[in-house]
């Protein structure tokens, strides 16, 4: 199971835990916000941002995260309501499906396309999960 912490405002950054490793930014974060993200969650490994924001992300923030080993992923979290749960969960069934498709010999693009369609995860997030699970 993989948990993606939803961060919908600057104030939510203060609520992150040291153990949060993957976050989805649902607001336009500044470079300062990205620095605070890493301060709040030093184990951060990936930040997912919506496609509309991905292209316009501040270069200083992007560079800072990347030099700290944080992968920036383009994508959305579909159908998640933060008022019910602050985490979007990629369940073990999806991760097992990825593993099964890899065992069947499918390439990363085919796996990414299938899982993205089946689960509503972005292809970039599926690629990240593939890399993390190998």
Residue 14 pLDDT greater than 70, yes or no: yes
pLDDT by residue (tens digit) across 73-120?
999 886 666 667 899 899 999 999 999 999 999 999 999 999 999 998
- C-alpha span between 38 and 33 (Å, rounded): 9
Q: What is the pTM of this model?
A: 0.90
Q: For the domain 1-90, what is the CATH code?
A: 3.40.50
- For the chain, what are the domain ranges? 1-90, 92-134
DSSP string, 19-78: T--EEEE-S---HHHHHHHHHH-TT--EEEE-HHHHTT--HHHHHHHHHTTPEEEE---T
């Amino acid at each position: 199971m993989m948990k993606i912490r939803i961060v919908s405002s600057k104030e939510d950054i203060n609520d992150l835990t040291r153990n949060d490793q993957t976050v989805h930014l649902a607001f336009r974060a500044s470079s300062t916000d990205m620095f605070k993200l890493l301060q709040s969650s030093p184990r951060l490994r990936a930040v997912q941002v919506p496609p509309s924001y991905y292209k316009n992300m501040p270069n200083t923030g992007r560079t800072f995260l990347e030099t700290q080993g944080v992968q920036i992923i383009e994508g959305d979290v579909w159908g998640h309501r933060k008022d019910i749960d602050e985490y979007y969960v990629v369940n073990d069934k999806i991760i097992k499906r990825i593993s099964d498709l890899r065992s069947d010999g499918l390439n990363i693009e085919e796996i990414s396309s299938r899982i993205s369609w089946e689960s509503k995860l972005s292809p970039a997030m599926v690629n990240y999960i593939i890399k993390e699970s190998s």
